[in-house]
Structure 1
Amino acid sequence: MSGAGGKLPPPLALAPAMSDALARWLETEAATRDRSRHTIAAYQADLLAFLSFLGAHHGAPATPKSLAGLRQPEMRAFAASERARGLSARSLARRQSAVRSFLRWISDREGHDLSAALAARSPKYTRSLPRPLTPDQARQALDMVAVDHDTPWVAARDLAVMTLLWGCGLRISEALGLDGRDWPFRDALVIRGKGGRERRVPVLPVARDAVADYLAQCPWRLAPDQPLFRGVRGGRLAPGSIEASMRRARAVLGLPPTATPHALRHSFATHLLAAGGDLRTIQELLGHASLSTTQVYTGVDDAHLLAVYRAAHPRG
C-alpha cells in the first residue's frame, strides 16, 4: 500500500493485546532459553518489523486472535517486502526464524493451527567463512602492537588484550569485561559469554605474562571491583581502542581489512583445528551454544587445504 506521493504510510501501532503477547514471549525467551540482551533486542526488532508489516498489509493492527488466519501468502509477502528494503538473505533468514518461534509460542497459547504459515521456507544463503590470520600474521600483528604506541603502558595493554583473544579465544567484550578480581589468572579463566553461558578457558603462560607486564606498567591501581583493562582516563577500556591499534598494525604489515581483533579469535579456533583439536573441545573453548556454529571452521581448514593442493599439485 502506498500513500500520497508514493510514500509508505506510517506503521500502525501495536494493539495492546499484541504488545502484551510480544513482551511475554520475549520474557519467556530470556528466562527459559537464556538469551542474551542483544538477542532479545534483535528478536524484538524482528517481530516489530513483522507485526508492522501485517498491520499495513491488512489495514488494521494484528492481534493474537487475528494471527489464526495467517497463511503462507502473507509470509511470502513479508519476505518479499524485507528483501525489497535491502535486507540480506542471511538477515531475512534470522528474522523469519524469530517470527516462527513467536508464532509457535502464540499458537500454543491461543490454540491456533499455524502449520501452514510455519511451513514457509527461509531463503537459502551461503554462510561466509571466518577470515583468520595465519600464525605468522598473528605473531607479526602482536609484535607491531607491542611497539605501536608512544605510551609504553598502553602498548603493553593492547598487547595483553590481543594475546588473550588469540591465545584464549576470547571475544573482545569478554576480555574487556574482566575485572581486578579475576587477577591473578590461574590455569583457567571462568568466562561468562553470550546468553550468560559460563565456560572454563585455559590460560597460556604467554597470556598470563602479557597481562602481568601490562599491570606492572599501568598507572591505575588494581582493585577487585575495577576494570582489569583501563582506558587512558582510567575507565573501562573500549573496544574501539583495540580496533584502532589493530588497524594501525595491519596498515604497516599490509594485512587485509579482515585482520581485526575478532579475527584473532577466529585464528585461535582454526589454529587449534589445524593442530588436531576436535570440534567439541573447540566448541566448549569458544562458548558456542551449537556445534553447527563451530563447524564453520572446518570450511576454513578445507579451503586452506584446497588452496595448498591447487598451488602444489602438478595438474592444479
Structure 2
Amino acid sequence: MSTPFEISAAARDALASWLEAAKALKAASDNTIKAYQVDVLDFITFLTLHHGQPQGLAPLARVTTPDMRAWMAHLRAQDVAPRSMARKLSAVKSFYRWLSEREGYEPTAVLSARAPKFQKKLPRPLTEDAARAMIDTVELQATQGWIGARDAAVVTLLYGCGLRISEALGITGRDLPLGETMRILGKGRKERIVPVLPVARRAVDTYLSLCPHPMEPDKPLFRGARGGPLNPRLIQKVTEKARMQLGLPATATPHAMRHSFATHLLSAGGDLRAIQELLGHASLSTTQAYTSVDQVHLMKVYEATHPKAG
C-alpha cells in the first residue's frame, strides 16, 4: 500500500526504532513485528494522503480526533473486518505510546479512539472422549513406531498440560526426566509452572524409549525423522488426518487440545485464576472466554436432556 515518497525518513526511522524496541522488550515474534509494521505504515500512509503531504514527526504529533475518525471510516470503506480494525488500532496506539515517551507527544487523540465492537470467537474444545480418541488415533498415523509415539506424546502434552504447540516443541533434553511439574517459557518469555500428569510422563517416556536419536541437554526433546527439531506443521498434519478418521470438525486442531484442557478443568470446578496461571494468559479476560464456552456447553446439555414443556 505504501510507497517510499509517502512517508518521511524521520517517520520511517521512528517506526524502525519502535519495532526494534517491541522485539527486544516484548519478545514479540517475527510475525507480530511484521503485522505491527504493516498496520502502522498503512496508518501513516493514510495520514499522508489525507493531508496531502509527507507525515514527519511534527505532523504525526498533531493527529486529531477527526483524523482518527477519518482513518476508521477509511478502513470501513475498504471492508476491513472489525477484528482487523481493532488490531490495527492497537498497533497504532502502541506506536503512539512509545512516541509520547520518546518525543513528548500528547497521544490523547490516538489513545482515546475506540475500536469497533466485534463478536469474539470462542474457543472450540473437544469433548473429553474426543480428546482421548484424538491422542490414540494420532499415534496410529505414522509408519514408524517411534514417530507415532512422538506424535502421541506431543498431543498428550497439549491436552494434559495445556501447552501451546510451540511450548511443547520448546522442551529440551535439559528438562528430562519430566517430574510432577515443569517450567514452561511461554509468550513474551513469561515463565510458568505446570503440573505434569502421570499419563503425560508415560507418553514422553514411551517416546524416549523408542526414539533413535540421542537426547542432549541443548537439543529439543521432540525430533524430526532425521534428528532435527520437529516442525510444528507435522503435528498439525497428523491431527488433521486423525480428526478426519474420527469424523471431528475442522476446529479439532492441536490448539483445540489446549482449549479442551482449559474447558474441562473449568467444567470440573477449576478456579478461573488458577487456570489463567496454568495457561500463561497475561490477562484474566482472555481466560474468561472459557466461561462462555462452558455456558454454551451447559445450554446444549440442558436443551438435550430437559423435558420439553407440553
TM over 0.5: yes
Report if aligned partners of 1:177, 1:227 keep a CA contact under 8 Å in 2. yes
Identity value in percent = 57
Matches of 1:226 and 1:34 in 2, distance apart? 22
Cα deviation digits, residues 256-278 of structure 1 (max 9, x gap) = 00000110000000011111111
Change (3 A) 1:26 1:9: closer
Change (3 A) 1:72 1:155: same
Is 1:17 aligned to 2:10, yes or no?
yes
User: 159, 162, 171: which one pairs with 2:164?
Assistant: 171
Residue 53 of structure 1 and its aligned partner are, at CA, apart by 1.8
Cα deviation digits, residues 155-177 of structure 1 (max 9, x gap) = 10100000000000010011111
Where does residue 45 of structure 1 map in the other structure? 38
SS at match of 2:193: strand
Q: Which runs of 5+ in 1 are unaligned?
A: 1-7
Amino acid at match of 1:242: I
Where does residue 5 of structure 1 map in the other structure? none
Change (3 A) 1:142 1:197: same
Q: Over the residues paired in the alignment, what is the CA RMSD in angstroms? A: 2.0
Change (3 A) 1:70 1:13: same
Report if aligned partners of 2:224, 2:230 keep a CA contact under 8 Å in 1. yes
Is 1:69 aligned to 2:62, yes or no?
yes
Matches of 1:235 and 1:82 in 2, distance apart? 44
Matches of 1:164 and 1:68 in 2, distance apart? 48
Matches of 1:154 and 1:248 in 2, distance apart? 15
- In the TM superposition, 1:235-254 aligns within 5 A as 235-254=228-247
Amino acid at match of 2:304: A
Matches of 1:108 and 1:197 in 2, distance apart? 25
Where does residue 248 of structure 2 map in the other structure? 255
Where does residue 157 of structure 1 map in the other structure? 150
Report if aligned partners of 1:12, 1:60 keep a CA contact under 8 Å in 2. no
- TM-score, with structure 2 as normaliser: 0.92
Where does residue 119 of structure 1 map in the other structure? 112
Q: Which runs of 5+ in 2 are unaligned?
A: none
Where does residue 201 of structure 1 map in the other structure? 194
Report if aligned partners of 1:65, 1:110 keep a CA contact under 8 Å in 2. no
Change (3 A) 1:32 1:147: closer
Where does residue 49 of structure 2 map in the other structure? 56
For this pair of structures, how many residues does the alignment match?
Answer: 309
Residue 33 of structure 1 and its aligned partner are, at CA, apart by 5.0
Where does residue 297 of structure 2 map in the other structure? 304
Report if aligned partners of 1:191, 1:200 keep a CA contact under 8 Å in 2. yes
Where does residue 290 of structure 1 map in the other structure? 283
Higher mean Cα deviation, 41-50 or 169-178? 41-50
Change (3 A) 1:222 1:32: closer
User: 80, 83, 92: which one pairs with 1:99?
Assistant: 92
Matches of 2:87 and 2:243 in 1, distance apart? 32
Residue 19 of structure 1 and its aligned partner are, at CA, apart by 2.2
Matches of 2:201 and 2:176 in 1, distance apart? 9
Report if aligned partners of 1:169, 1:286 keep a CA contact under 8 Å in 2. yes
Where does residue 212 of structure 1 map in the other structure? 205
Change (3 A) 1:54 1:182: same
- TM-score, with structure 1 as normaliser: 0.91
Cα deviation digits, residues 164-211 of structure 1 (max 9, x gap) = 000000100111111111111111111111001001111111111101
Matches of 1:35 and 1:233 in 2, distance apart? 30
Is 1:272 aligned to 2:265, yes or no?
yes
Change (3 A) 1:248 1:18: same
Matches of 1:290 and 1:96 in 2, distance apart? 19
Amino acid at match of 2:134: A
Matches of 1:199 and 1:111 in 2, distance apart? 36
